[in-house]
Structure 1
Amino acid sequence: MAHHVSTKGTSIFVNGLVCKDPKLAQADDFFFTGLDKPGNTSNPVGSKVTAVNVAQIPGLNTLGISIARVDYAPYGINPPHTHPRATEILTVLEGTLYVGFITSNPENRLITKVLQKGDVFVFPQGLIHFQRNAGYGKAVAIAALSSQNPGVITIANAVFGSNPPISDDVLAKAFQVDKNMVDRIQAQF
């Protein structure tokens, strides 16, 4: 935002977003409040991600960073997902998390660790990763990401909840299950 100006009647877009004339920038363009508030984890996966990226703070555009708070119910998960445009570094603030990522094909090696309060773990850009609350109480983590717009692709939602749906023939063959199983899973999304 700071390096881009708009001329009279013309908007300049950077990363698909309108850049404000730096002379018109306000403190609120660089501000977010509420990351201290727990997210609602009463959902099927038992977690809530509160993202703070360029959608919440316009001043992040072009700066290459963002942050998120992740709340976990007991045994809740942040399901397998990937960030196509960012590496993530996760810090546990409260609780115990079992975390992991999968290396790329053909190895598809699972790399995992149990994290305690104060522990930090890195998920490389583009790799599928997850977290699970391993404890009895709630857990909270802060994720910093190396993009102002990291994106997120939750694997199950993307594969079984696409719109329009991926053909059950394709998914049955890919997952080596029958079409009825695919239809049952798709119905969840």
Structure 2
Amino acid sequence: MAVHLLLAIILAFATSHTTATDPTQLQDFCVADNTSNIFINGVVCKNPQEVTEKDFFFPGLNVPRSTVNQLGSAVTAVNVMNLPGLNTLGISLARIDYAPNGGQNPPHTHPRGTEILVVLEGTLAVGFVTSNNNNKLFAKVLYPGDVFVFPQGLIHFQVNIGHQSAVALAGLSSQNPGVITIAKAVFGSKPPISDEVLAKAFQLDKDIVDKLQAKFWMNSN
């Protein structure tokens, strides 16, 4: 009986681990059919007979994007939504452009993926914060060729501390890692979170919360 209970516990842990990540493919590929009306945890497979080379191709990641915006940054995401061949493969990619002198990818999380970042140009100050047991900040200044990892689900950021534009590439361990930009989610939700709740949570006056909620919150990535 004790052996059976132990096996059941081990199986439960193993199952919880496998279901917490993107599913493993059971065939050579499962190209996403983004026209399907069927909703599942993932994306329905396209008929393999209709798959072409274009389903595995995304052009133009070498092209800079404008960073003239509130944040001074632009993210070009390459995920299952614009590269259907990524479906079930458990990976995605992003190019991030940063304006000089403070362009930033603001504090955010990826609920479904770990991120590994490599700096191609410029100088970035980056960091992530651990969960509520101690909220420790791990921060580092990165130069071209440097690599930094942001663990899945943790709040992290990047900011250009140089006088020139910066560029980085990010790989993520999910075909659709998702993103939650903290400030936008908290102060820009629709409908808005009660200003009384936010005033108490952030120890702010309600009028300050109201001003923050009235701002236009752009999508950062």
Q: Check the 8 A contact 1:84/1:150 in 2, yes or no.
A: yes
Deviations 1:61-96, CA, capped at 9 Å, x for gaps: 110000000000011000000000000000000000
Superposed CA RMSD in Å reads: 1.8
Identity of aligned residues (%): 69
Determine helix, strand or coil for the equivalent of 1:169.
helix
- The answer to whether residue 155 in structure 2 is matched with residue 128 in structure 1 is yes
From 32, 49, 55, the counterpart of 2:58: 32
For 1:2-21, list aligned pairs within 5 A.
2=28, 15-21=41-47
Q: 1:46-85 alignment to 2 at 5 Å? A: 46-74=72-100, 75-85=102-112
User: TM-score, with normalisation over the residues of structure 1?
Assistant: 0.93
Indicate conservation of the 8 Å contact 1:88/1:124, yes or no: yes
Q: In the aligned structure 2, how far is the partner of 1:43 from the partner of 1:12?
A: 37
Q: Write 1 or 2 for the structure with the bigger share of helix.
A: 2
Residue number in structure 1 paired with 2:213: 186
Are 2:185 and 1:151 equivalent residues in the alignment?
A: no
Q: Is the 8 A contact 1:54 1:66 kept in 2?
A: yes
Aligned amino acid, residue 28 of structure 1: K
Shift of 1:15: 3.4
Q: In structure 2, what is the Cα distance between the partners aligned to 1:125 and 1:67?
A: 15
Secondary structure of the 2:209 match is helix
Q: Based on CA coordinates, which of the two structures has the bigger radius of gyration?
A: 2
SS in 1 for 2:65: coil
Distance 1:12 1:142, change over 3 A: same
CA distance in 2 between partners of 1:11 and 1:179 (Å): 43
Give the Cα–Cα distance (whole angstroms) in 1 for the partners of residues 107 and 185 of structure 2.
Answer: 11
**Which residue is equivalent to 2:136?**
109
| 1:13 Cα deviation after fit | 6.0
* Ranges of 4+ aligned residues in structure 1 off by more than 4 Å: 1-5, 10-14
Whichever structure has more strand as a proportion of its residues is: 1
Structure-1 separation of matches of 2:138 and 2:178? 22
SS of match in other structure, 2:97: strand
Gaps of 5+ in 1: none
| Aligned counterpart for 1:91 among listed residues 118, 121, 145 | 118
Cα displacement (A) at 1:106:
2.2
User: 1:15–1:61: 8 Å Cα contact kept in structure 2?
Assistant: no
Residue 79 of structure 1 aligns with an amino acid whose one-letter code is P
Does structure 2 conserve the Cα–Cα contact (< 8 Å) formed by 1:35 and 1:69? yes
- The CA deviation at 1:19 is 1.1
Residue ranges of structure 2 left out of the alignment (5+ in a row): 1-24, 217-221
